[in-house]
Amino acid sequence: MTEISEQAVVRRLNERLGFGPPPGEPAAGFDETVRRLLGPATDAAAAAIAPPTGLTPPPRTGTKADKPDKAAKKAERQARTAQERKLTIWWLDRMVASRTASERLTWFWHGHFATSNQKVRNAAWMLAQNQTQRRYAAAGFGDLAAAMIVDSATIRWLDGQKNRKGSPNENLAREFLELFTLGIGHYEEKDVAEGARCLTGWVLGKDGPGDQGAAATFKRQRFDSGSKTVLGKTGNFDAKAYAGLALARPESAPFVIGRLWFRLVSTTPPDAAAMTRLETAYGPGRNVKSLLTAMVAEAAFRDPAASLVKQPVEWVVGLMRALRITPGKLAEKEQTKLLAGLRGMGQLPFRPPSVGGWPSGASWLTTSAGLTRLQLAQHLAAHAELKAIGSADDVAELLGVDGWSARTKAALGAVKQPAQLVAIAACAPEYVVSG
C-alpha cells in the first residue's frame, strides 16, 4: 500500500480529529499532533467560551382548544428560534477555537445520537445533551450510551415520554439497538418490545400552557418492574441495564468501531486483522481515546485512497479557523448569512434530518450545495484580513492545502482579487475533500 507524505498525514490528522490546524500552530510531526489532539482531558481554548444563558423555554401559548392569538404564537416561535441561534453560534465558536479532538468528537456523537431541536423544541435540553456528549466524547462509550438513553432531549426526540407501563412505546428501544449500539440484524423484535419495558418510568414535564417542561426524571411507580428477557438475558432490567445488555453483545464493538472508522478514517471498512487490533484497543472498557489512537496508527489512515468529503459544518469551521473569524463576533446580519449558508448546504448543528443523522460523501457535492458553498466562502473571505494573499501558493498555505492540481492552479492563477482567490480555493476539491 502506498502512503501519503508525512506532511499530508499530519494534515489528515488535523482534519479528521479536528477542524484543520489551529491558526498560528507551528508545524509538528505525527506523534506530537496526536498528543495535542488526544492528550488533554479538557480543551482549554474551547472551554474558555462560556455556555449560553437564558435558554429557559418560553411559556407555551396554549393548546388547540385555547386558540392562542397569532401574535403570542409568533412571539413564542421567535423566542425559541433566538435561543437555538444563540446555542448554535456558541458551539461554532467552540469548534473554531478548539485545539484538541474534543469538539470534533462531540460533533461526531451529535451525528451518532442524532437529535433535532425541531421536535425537541428546548434549547436547554439540547445544550445539556451536547455537554454530556462532550464530557464522554473520548472516554468510555458505555458511559455515554447509558447517559444518552435517559437524556431529556433523546427521550423527547424518540418519544420516550410516551413509553408507559402496560402501554410501551418502542421507538427509543428500537433505535438504541439499530442505530446506536448494534446495527440492523443483530436483535429481534421481541428484544425491542422487552427493551421498551426496561425504559419505562422516565417522564418529562407536561407541555401545557405556561409549562416550561421539566427535564427527564425517573418515577418508580411508572416503571415496569416485571421480569424481562432481552438479548438472551432475563431479569428485572431498567434503562441502564438495557444499555449494558446491548453493549455486552459481541456485535456492539465492531458496530461502534465501524461508525467511527467510516466518519474519521475511510469509507472502506477495516480488514479483519485491523478490526482485531481496534477491538483490542477499544477493550472491555470501550475506551474511545485508546481506539482513536489505534485507528490513526493503522496503515489505512495513510492510504491516499482514504479521502473523505468534508461535511458542511466541518468545511465552514475549518475555513473560519484559517481566516481567523469567530462567529460570535460577527454582526447579527453576518451570523444570519452564516447560518443560512449552512442551512442551504443541508447541515445545521442541532438540526439533523432524522435519527439516522446526516449523509456522507457525494451527498454534499450537489450543484446547489456547491453554489451555496461558494457564496458562503465569498461572504466569509470578505470579512478576513487577506493582505498577505497574492497567489495560489499563498492561499494553499493559508488553508493548509499541500498543493493544487494543475487544473485548480490554472483556475486560481486567473484570479487577482485576494478575497475571491480565497473563496474559489476554499471550494476546490483539494480543500472540500479531506485527502
Q: Which residues of 76-96 are buried (b: 16+ CB within 10 A; e: fewer)?
A: beebbeebbbbbbbbbbbbbb
pLDDT at 57: 86
Model confidence at 211, pLDDT cuts 50, 70, 90, reads very low
pLDDT at 306: 96
Q: CA-to-CA distance for 141 and 292, rounded, in angstroms?
A: 12
Model confidence at 210, pLDDT cuts 50, 70, 90, reads very low
Residue 250 has pLDDT above 70, yes or no: yes
Q: How far is CA 391 from CA 75, 86, 316, 374, 422, in A?
A: 49, 37, 22, 19, 10
Share of the chain above pLDDT 70, in %: 96
Q: Are 340 and 81 in contact (CB under 8 A)?
A: no
Residue 255 has pLDDT above 70, yes or no: yes
For the stretch 298-325, pLDDT in tens is 999 999 999 999 999 999 999 999 999 9
Q: Any idea where the domains of the chain sit in the sequence?
A: 8-248, 308-434
pLDDT at 71: 87
Residues 6+ apart with CB under 8 A from 22: 45, 98, 99, 321
Q: CA-to-CA distance for 329 and 68, rounded, in angstroms?
A: 37
For the stretch 214-243, pLDDT in tens is 789 999 999 999 999 999 999 999 999 999
Model confidence at 70, pLDDT cuts 50, 70, 90, reads confident
User: Once rounded to an integer, what is the mean pLDDT over residues 122-135?
Assistant: 97
Structure-model confidence comparison of residues 353 and 26, the more confident one:
353
pLDDT at 24: 77
Model confidence at 6, pLDDT cuts 50, 70, 90, reads very high
pLDDT at 2: 80
pLDDT at 62: 58
Hey, how many other C-beta atoms are within 10 angstroms of the C-beta on 417? 12
Residue 384 has pLDDT above 70, yes or no: yes
pLDDT at 208: 38
pTM of the model: 0.95
pLDDT at 60: 73
pLDDT at 235: 98
Query: With left for phi above 0 and alpha for psi between -120 and 50, is residue 116 left, alpha or beta?
Result: beta
Residue 157 has pLDDT above 90, yes or no: yes
> Between vectors from CA 286 to CA 282 and to CA 287, what angle results, nearest 5°?
70
For the stretch 341-382, pLDDT in tens is 999 999 999 999 999 999 999 999 999 999 999 999 999 999
Share of the chain above pLDDT 90, in %: 88
For the stretch 43-52, pLDDT in tens is 999 999 999 9
pLDDT at 140: 96
Choose among 376, 378, 347: nearest CA to 363: 347
pLDDT at 65: 56
Structure-model confidence comparison of residues 126 and 58, the more confident one:
126
Residues 6+ apart with CB under 8 A from 312: 342, 345, 346, 347, 364, 369, 373
pLDDT at 59: 78
State the pairing for strand pair 233-235/433-434.
unpaired
pLDDT at 207: 44
pLDDT at 273: 98
Residue 405 has pLDDT above 70, yes or no: yes
